[in-house]
Amino acid sequence: MSTSGVGERVKTFFVGHRGTGKTALLRRLQDYFPETPCFDLDQQIEQREKQRISEIFKTYGEKRFREIEKAVLEEISQKHSCFFCSVGAGYRGDFPKDSKVIWVMRPSDKQGRVFLTRPRLKGEKTPLEEYRSLFESRETYYRRVATDFYEMVEGFVFPNEIEKSIFSNHICDLEACVTVSGKDFYSFYEKRKAWGIKFFEFRSCDYSVEDLQKALEVFPKDKVLLSFRGVKEEAQGLFPWVQKEQLFFYWPLEWGKPLGNPSILSLHEGGTDSLDLFSRYESKDIIFKWAPYICSWEELQRGFAWQQEDPMRRSFLPRSSDGRWEWARLYLSSRQSLNFIREGRGSHPDQPSLFSWMAFSKRKSFAAILGDPIFHSLTPAEQFSFFSKRKKAVYRIQLSSEELSQNILNFLREIGLTHAAVTSPLKKKMLKFCDHPSSEVLRFQSLNTLFLKEKVWGHNTDYRGLLEFLKPLLEEEHVIVWGGGGVLNMIKEILPQAFFYSSRKGHLREFSQTGKASFSKIRVLTDLNELSDPSLPVVGSLIWATPYRQFPFCRPQKIFDLNYSENAPGKEMALVVGSQYVSGLSFFKLQAEAQRDFWAQF
């Protein structure tokens, strides 16, 4: 993404889903570019109408709100020639023709978010059902109106030089390929011509000969790479022209023997057995691109081994349905000649975003968050400054309990893993791979922090974080702990008076003070709508310590959630039953600070 809008004196609007972070982005832009006005459309509406958005919805309905929204946007556009302005997720109007519309997105957009303070549009649905019911129609609108894209990495909510460089268009030396989209070739190239792009990829399924001829009037020929895609017979019709123009092109070996002399041979299908197809062309001066779907760690390791046999000529670009191998592509970025970055939703999810590429590529060693799921993890952002000073990347590495093995840890350590944060479901199982556990690890039989060299040192910082997070409950008598997992023993030590319930069965755990408990069992609900039952018993504080959507049949006055994700089940419950909600974000930051203290010893 490139705005180059500050220098161009243009009107720049931001669209995107609820909770993506458009307003927070505006605050950072005000910090980067104090001379450029920034407007949050919702805030402007509240100032103009002297009412909160929720009150306008309640009093006048959504239709009237949209009319006001459109009018305020027009007022801003008429008064100012250059500005940044974020609009609400539900805005469906038009934008001035002389403006730029940037779709702001995050990887977690698809997962849904729960909002405690924003107006509900469809009260008959659960919070997540409401978000997801609007998701596709909003995506369609954003895709239609957007002139550019900006994908943020989870947790980078603080001012940073990478983001400032992106919005200033001071980007260089990327040494990656980008896939061209649309047919406004001049604008596309002008934004990216100084980025240090290795190749601009044109896919044969998207462009005709006439289109490509126009593109060559803009793009330097030695930067154009034609990728043969789509229907073989149609793509082959382009070949005589490609050969005449002497373009770089790559040929998919799935189509059989290549035409002419391709610069790159590619394979996107088949397992490691298909690599034999490459061996027939080893004697030629050709780059080999292998971009298969990788379904296991064993396949990933074979791909790494294949690439390292000839790193200058072989490029391994693993794919998945959910982007779990983005870290591998970032790791390989300085170790192979062909790499791609992603812009917008159109490219493969394993391709790194521009921000990720600038933050985490071309590093010799790395730290990681290990666990499953980790797509929402804030660890890469939280620990970014600490590891940047040590010239290390911080990756999200999805690793399930079933996948975790000595072989995989050895592989990660061999390729450069030196530090790791460990999350569910690995905190207990990781113990057997730890050579030097700290006293906290031995005490609680759980770890969340690793340092890896010849041996593995392990520590647990959760206790330090929990002690501070749960301080308001130290004197409270009737605290319910729902779940527990890897922190159960710690909560027992901090709050011995609490009542501990299994979140799966609802049974009171046997070590609880059964004589004082109000319930020997709490009914477990999987349907959030059942929490509207007026007979729900009111209880005091509840500590939510489970990742599952299994709700207790009660109405807590307060919910202390150990989870900080924006679609956390505990947050859903708090909204539905009216509980005061305390997010686990402060707990996360406290234990993350303790992790840095541990790592700094080495």
CA distance 142 to 87: 11
The average pLDDT across 520-547 equals 93
Is 452 in the same domain as 404? yes
Is 530 in the same domain as 405? no
pLDDT digits (tens, 9 = 90+) for 355-378: 999 999 999 999 999 999 999 999
How many residues are given for the chain? 602
Q: Tell me the average pLDDT of the chain.
A: 93
The average pLDDT across 282-305 equals 94
Is 432 in the same domain as 506? no
CA distance 384 to 356: 11
Going by pLDDT thresholds of 50, 70 and 90, the confidence category of residue 3 is very low
Is 337 in the same domain as 240? yes
Q: Count of CB atoms within 10 A of residue 92's CB?
A: 13
pLDDT at 126: 83
The average pLDDT across 16-28 equals 96
CATH number where 409 lies: 3.40.50.10860
Going by pLDDT thresholds of 50, 70 and 90, the confidence category of residue 104 is very high
To the nearest whole percent, how much of the chain has pLDDT over 70?
A: 97
- Report the relative pairing of strands 499-501 and 479-483 from DSSP bridges: parallel
∠ CA 2-385-192 to the nearest 5 degrees? 15
pLDDT at 513: 67
Contacts of 117 (CB under 8 A, 6+ apart): 54
**6 found inside a domain:** no
pTM for the whole structure: 0.92
The average pLDDT across 209-222 equals 97
CATH number where 512 lies: 3.40.50
The average pLDDT across 114-125 equals 72
pLDDT at 270: 72
Strands, E assignment, 90-152: 99-105, 148-151
Please determine, for residue 347, whether its predicted confidence score (pLDDT) is greater than 80. no
Please determine, for residue 118, whether its predicted confidence score (pLDDT) is greater than 80. no
Closest by CA position to 424, among listed 254, 548, 295: 548
**598 found inside a domain:** no
CA distance 480 to 570: 13
Is 125 in the same domain as 91? yes
pLDDT at 235: 85
Edge-to-edge strands, sheet with 38-40: 38-40, 83-86, 11-15, 99-105, 148-151
**439 found inside a domain:** yes
Is 335 in the same domain as 410? no
pLDDT at 121: 57
pLDDT at 514: 59
Higher pLDDT, 514 or 225: 225
Q: b/e string for 257-295 if b means 16 or more Cβ within 10 A?
A: ebbeebbbbbbbeeeeeebebbeeeeeeebbbbbbbebe
The average pLDDT across 573-593 equals 96
Q: Tell me, what DSSP letter sits at residue 255? A: G
Tokens of residue 585, six digits: 């974000």
Q: Which domain holds residue 69?
A: 11-152
CA distance 602 to 288: 40
Q: How many helices (H) and strands (E) does the chain have?
A: 22, 25
Please determine, for residue 240, whether its predicted confidence score (pLDDT) is greater than 60. yes
Contacts of 181 (CB under 8 A, 6+ apart): 188, 206, 343, 344, 346
The average pLDDT across 94-110 equals 94
**407 found inside a domain:** yes
Instruction: Please say which residue of 105, 123, 152 terminates a domain.
Output: 152
pLDDT at 515: 63
Is 390 in the same domain as 316? no
State whether residue 456 is helix, strand or coil: strand
pLDDT digits (tens, 9 = 90+) for 136-159: 999 999 999 999 999 999 999 999
pLDDT digits (tens, 9 = 90+) for 156-178: 999 999 999 999 999 999 999 99
∠ CA 583-425-326 to the nearest 5 degrees? 85
| Lowest-confidence region among 113-117, 118-122, 472-476, 584-588 | 118-122
To the nearest whole percent, how much of the chain has pLDDT over 90?
A: 84
pLDDT at 345: 74
Is 305 in the same domain as 231? yes
Rounded to whole angstroms, what are the CA distances from 292 to 198, 275, 324, 482?
A: 22, 11, 13, 42
Is 193 in the same domain as 302? yes
Instruction: Please say which residue of 343, 359, 375 terminates a domain.
Output: 359
**518 found inside a domain:** yes
Give yes or no for a cis peptide into 534 (omega within 30° of 0): no
Is 337 in the same domain as 227? yes
**338 found inside a domain:** yes
CA distance 490 to 470: 11
Host H or E run for residue 79: helix 53-79
Inter-residue contact 87 to 12 (CB < 8 Å)? no
Give yes or no for a cis peptide into 34 (omega within 30° of 0): no
pLDDT at 122: 59
Strands, E assignment, 207-313: 224-227, 248-252, 264-267, 287-290
**163 found inside a domain:** no
Please determine, for residue 33, whether its predicted confidence score (pLDDT) is greater than 70. yes
Amino acid residing at 494: I
Is 422 in the same domain as 496? no
CATH number where 245 lies: 3.20.20.70
The average pLDDT across 48-62 equals 90
Instruction: Please say which residue of 304, 331, 359 terminates a domain.
Output: 359
Is 246 in the same domain as 382? no
pLDDT at 117: 78
The average pLDDT across 241-255 equals 94
Report the number of distinct structural domains present in the chain.
4
pLDDT at 411: 98
pLDDT at 541: 97
CA distance 288 to 275: 10
**5 found inside a domain:** no
Contacts of 535 (CB under 8 A, 6+ apart): none
Please determine, for residue 5, whether its predicted confidence score (pLDDT) is greater than 50. no
Distance between alpha carbon 164 and the CA centroid of its chain, in Å?
A: 19
pLDDT at 531: 92
Bridge partners for 417 per DSSP: 366
